Structure 1
Amino acid sequence: MQHDELSLLSTEELTSPLDEMDTVAPASEVPPPDPEQMLELLQSEQASQRTIAARAFCELEDRRSIPLLIKLLKDDCPLVRVSTAYALGRNTSPEAVEPLIELLEEDWNGYVRKGIVWALGNSRDRRALQPLIYTLKTDISAVRLWTASALAQVATLEYEDVIAAMPPLIEALRKDAMAAVRSNCAWAIGQLCRELPSNVVYATAIDALIEALVEDDDYGVKDDSKTAILKVGDPRGLQFIEELEFEGLI
């Protein structure tokens, strides 16, 4: 995977690339796409037509689109690939997970990898766990941001997955250079803590949230860490928040 595409995807650019594509008219004025027509366009020889069709299946749910979309993951056009990734996040399928993982490891385009991470999170498939952990550690910040949330979606399926996902999330909460990534890690840790019994991993996660609440320089990260503790309802964390509020420190 190449990570030198900062000219294509700024580390500050954290929104969906689909949101930046022009809209012809307000959604209320646009009729829903015709599934039959869009299925045909997925096989068009024109990249612009394939992109339009793939984008349509970001809204439409139709199982017939899945094999066609999986093929388009190898399309030469990055706009087709990114739209296809989001479409497979809407039209999830076990058959799409391995092709998505393969593309996550190979695609040079950050926009595409963002879409893949979102799709893998929506898949809630355990096969995505280790690739997402690796992405959280190594990718550009705009992709890491979404990876933290995707890990929370995937890891909640099994106890051992929660145990595997927690250390990299805690490390990113403590060390990631991008505040927005740290905030998403705080949210993800809070989500996963709800799946854990009161054990060493749970206690370490709460410690990390308390540490971020006290020591992080970014107020957004502090606030998200506090919210995570409140939603988990951990007695030790709640007492710590109460003491900090009494002392006027938060």
Structure 2
Amino acid sequence: MYDDDDDLLILDVDAELESPLDRMEPVEEQTPPPNPEVMLALLSSPETPQRMLAARAFCEIEDERAIPHLIRLLTDVCPLVRVSAAYALGRNPSPDAVEPLITQLENDWNGYVRKGVVWALGNCRSRRSLSPLTNALKSDIAAVRLWAASSLAQIAKLEYEDMISALPPLIEALRRDSVAAVRSNCAWSIGQLCRELPSNVVYATAIDALIEALVEDEDLGVKEDARASLLKVGDPGGLQMIEELELEGIV
């Protein structure tokens, strides 16, 4: 879907798995917090720094009046405005934002923006996002895949059919993804979904994948997340495997 080499010019996958907003200075060091009325007006400012400042303010402020403006800013010419608008929509989720966010996920060239979009889609919790997030988990850059895995768990928990659809790509990514942080998020998401499932073939396959990660993954963080998911699910086979590995001193 996207050319990783081109995106790496924008997004250092190994260094940028956290929110790009974490590297920005606070909106303003002031008390009280930013004035919503002022920030609402600045969302339509002709000056790019003012639009970015206002969009970032709504990453902290919840105000439904900002939603139409933030949706419009998803297509702003400046990627820093777009990513700030995406995170602000995650803070102010709305059904009206789902389709614009999906469109931006499919079309935005900037990895930071797509990462913010998948986080926002997870918070919007709309079934419409299931397929786009699944595609992102399969084919986007690592930092986007990381958040797509987490967002899938937030959405798929809503409906049984969605859990059944979301688990296979999460299992595949847990087994195959080259980035440990992505595999860890997949292990967490699989655990979240398995807690809602009855014992069936899909459930059993997911538990097997968690056990496989616990035993075979080379990354200690992935192993620990797989173990934590198995403990939370409480599957008898998974608990027995953890006990046996602990007795052998393996985990």
What is the distance in 2 between the residues matched to 1:25 and 1:77?
21
**Aligned residue in 1 for 2:90:** 89
Given the alignment, which residue of 15, 20, 33 partners 2:18?
Answer: 15
Which runs of no fewer than 5 residues in structure 1 stay unpaired?
A: none
What is the distance in 1 between the residues matched to 2:189 and 2:27?
36
**Residue identity matched to 1:121:** G
Q: Is 2:222 the counterpart of 1:221?
A: yes
What is the distance in 1 between the residues matched to 2:27 and 2:87?
20
Question: What's the TM-score, normalizing by structure 2?
Answer: 0.96
Say if 1:190 and 1:231, in contact at 8 Å, map to a contact too. yes
- 1:4-50 deviations in Å (ceiling 9; x for gaps): 22021011111111111123766xx5421111111100000001000
How much is the aligned-residue C-alpha RMSD, in angstroms?
A: 1.1
Say if 1:97 and 1:127, in contact at 8 Å, map to a contact too. yes
SS in 2 for 1:5: helix
Q: Is 2:65 the counterpart of 1:64?
A: yes
CA 129–56 in structure 1, closer or farther in 2 if over 3 Å, else same: same
Q: CA deviation at 1:249?
A: 1.5
Q: How does 1:110-125 map to 2 (within 5 A)?
A: 110-125=111-126
Identity of aligned residues (%): 71
Q: CA deviation at 1:57?
A: 0.6
- 1:167-214 deviations in Å (ceiling 9; x for gaps): 000000000000000000000000000110011100000000000000
Q: Is 2:232 the counterpart of 1:231?
A: yes
**Residue identity matched to 2:244:** E
**Aligned residue in 2 for 1:152:** 153
What is the distance in 2 between the residues matched to 1:23 and 1:237?
44
Say if 2:136 and 2:145, in contact at 8 Å, map to a contact too. yes
Q: How does 1:1-250 map to 2 (within 5 A)?
A: 2-3=2-3, 4-12=6-14, 13-23=16-26, 29-250=30-251
Say if 1:8 and 1:109, in contact at 8 Å, map to a contact too. yes
Query: More deviation in 17-26 or 154-163?
Result: 17-26
